Amino acid sequence: MFTVEKERNITWHNTNVTKQHRQLLHGHKSPILWFTGLSGSGKSTIANLLEQNLHKYRKSTYLLDGDNIRHGLNSDLSFNSEDRKENIRRIGEVAKLFVDSGIITLVSFISPYKADRKIVRNLVQDKEFIEIYIKCPLDICEQRDPKGLYKRARKGEIKNFTGISSPYEKPEDPEIILETEKETKETAVDKIIKYLKEHQYI
Ligand SMILES: Nc1ncnc2c1ncn2[C@@H]1O[C@H](COP(=O)(O)OS(=O)(=O)O)[C@@H](OP(=O)(O)O)[C@H]1O
Ligand SMILES: Nc1ncnc2c1ncn2[C@@H]1O[C@H](COP(=O)(O)OP(=O)(O)O)[C@@H](O)[C@H]1O
């Protein structure tokens, strides 16, 4: 029924209602759809449209968006590398809880470091982490500049800005790559839904 971690005097309690019971109730699996990419690459746009589509087809979803989470849970974190690591660690743990709740969990964070994304992948079971690389050249993201942040970063008003003064490490072997310079958001969403159906997540 439970396991004890002796050093810290804490106990893990198993619940009678399990992830499998919850997934059965929802009628689908509950993977993490992890969107990673530069600011302005299209993570939020695609994740939002995907959630809208899944919701329309009566799938239970929740979207965790970096900008939003930094308003609350992670409002104490900056954009230096240590804080970004902690940002991803926390949201990885939150996403794991959502997986356990039986909900399809969309996570849209720049998540620039390979090692941090790998830590989250290893938090959940095999096939429960679907990495979606929102690929878009920096110059196109910069032209789009939906929030005017690149302009400010170039002027030196924002430090540690991803792609300008802070690194972005591309995924090596993501499950899905979407090239938003070449394909529309609708095509991108269709591709993700096709993947989910083909791999029997939904
Ligand atoms: N220095 C710096 N670098 C990058 N982005 C910045 C920065 N300062 C603020 N912003 C805004 O914060 C959003 C990214 O937050 P994340 O939590 O996703 O970033 S990270 O995963 O910790 O790297 C990011 O949102 P998106 O544009 O949606 O990616 C920006 O709006
Ligand atoms: N194919 C596409 N997919 C997603 N966004 C696109 C695409 N083409 C143009 N855009 C535009 O690029 C911008 C992406 O912004 P956003 O979704 O906030 O990116 P991110 O969350 O990665 O910072 C939006 O203004 C969106 O309308």
Q: Kindly indicate the confidence band of residue 74, based on its pLDDT and cuts at 50, 70 and 90.
A: very high
Name the strand (E) or helix (H) holding 64: strand 61-65
Residue 60 region by backbone torsions, left for phi larger than 0, else alpha for psi between -120 and 50, else beta:
beta
Which value does ipTM take for this structure? 0.99
Look up residue 148 and give its amino acid: G
Tell me how far the alpha carbon of residue 181 lies from the centroid of ligand 2, in angstroms: 9
Q: Is 135 in the pocket of ligand 2 (CB under 6 A)?
A: no
Q: What is the pLDDT of residue 26?
A: 98
Once rounded to an integer, what is the mean pLDDT over residues 146-155? 98
| SS3 category, 30 | coil
| Residue position matching structure tokens 């990673």 | 36
Look up residue 183 and give its amino acid: E
Tell me how far the alpha carbon of residue 20 lies from the centroid of ligand 2, in angstroms: 35
Name the strand (E) or helix (H) holding 105: strand 104-108
Distance separating alpha carbons of residues 16 and 22, to the nearest angstrom: 11
Tokens of 166: 């802070």
Distance separating alpha carbons of residues 190 and 196, to the nearest angstrom: 10
**54-71 residue pLDDT tens:** 999 999 999 999 999 999
Atom of ligand 1 nearest to the CA of 91: 17
Tell me how far the alpha carbon of residue 111 lies from the centroid of ligand 1, in angstroms: 9
Q: Kindly indicate the confidence band of residue 40, based on its pLDDT and cuts at 50, 70 and 90.
A: very high
Q: What is the pLDDT of residue 156?
A: 96
Residue nearest atom 14 of ligand 2, based on CA coordinates: 42
Binding site members for ATP: 37-44
State whether CATH 3.40.50.300 applies to domain 16-198.
yes
**88-106 residue pLDDT tens:** 999 999 999 999 999 999 9
What contacts 151, CB < 8 A, 6 or more positions away?
Answer: 145
Q: Kindly indicate the confidence band of residue 76, based on its pLDDT and cuts at 50, 70 and 90.
A: very high
Tokens of 88: 């991803």
**171-202 residue pLDDT tens:** 999 999 999 999 999 999 999 999 999 999 99
Q: Is 117 in the pocket of ligand 1 (CB under 6 A)?
A: no
Residue nearest atom 12 of ligand 2, based on CA coordinates: 42
Q: What is the pLDDT of residue 7?
A: 82
Q: Report if pTM > 0.90.
A: yes
Give catalytic residues, as residue numbers.
Answer: 111
Q: Is 29 in the pocket of ligand 1 (CB under 6 A)?
A: no
What contacts 86, CB < 8 A, 6 or more positions away?
Answer: 74, 77
Q: What is the pLDDT of residue 63?
A: 98
Once rounded to an integer, what is the mean pLDDT over residues 102-126? 98
Atom of ligand 2 nearest to the CA of 66: 21
Q: Is 43 in the pocket of ligand 2 (CB under 6 A)?
A: yes
Q: What is the pLDDT of residue 3?
A: 77
Q: Is 161 in the pocket of ligand 1 (CB under 6 A)?
A: yes
Antiparallel, parallel or unpaired: β 32-36 and 104-108: parallel
Could you tell me what percent of the chain has a pLDDT over 70? 100
Q: What is the pLDDT of residue 1?
A: 62
Look up residue 170 and give its amino acid: K
Residue 22 exposure: Cα atoms within 13 Å on the Cβ side: 17
**How many other C-beta atoms are found inside a 10 Å radius of the C-beta of residue 16?**
6
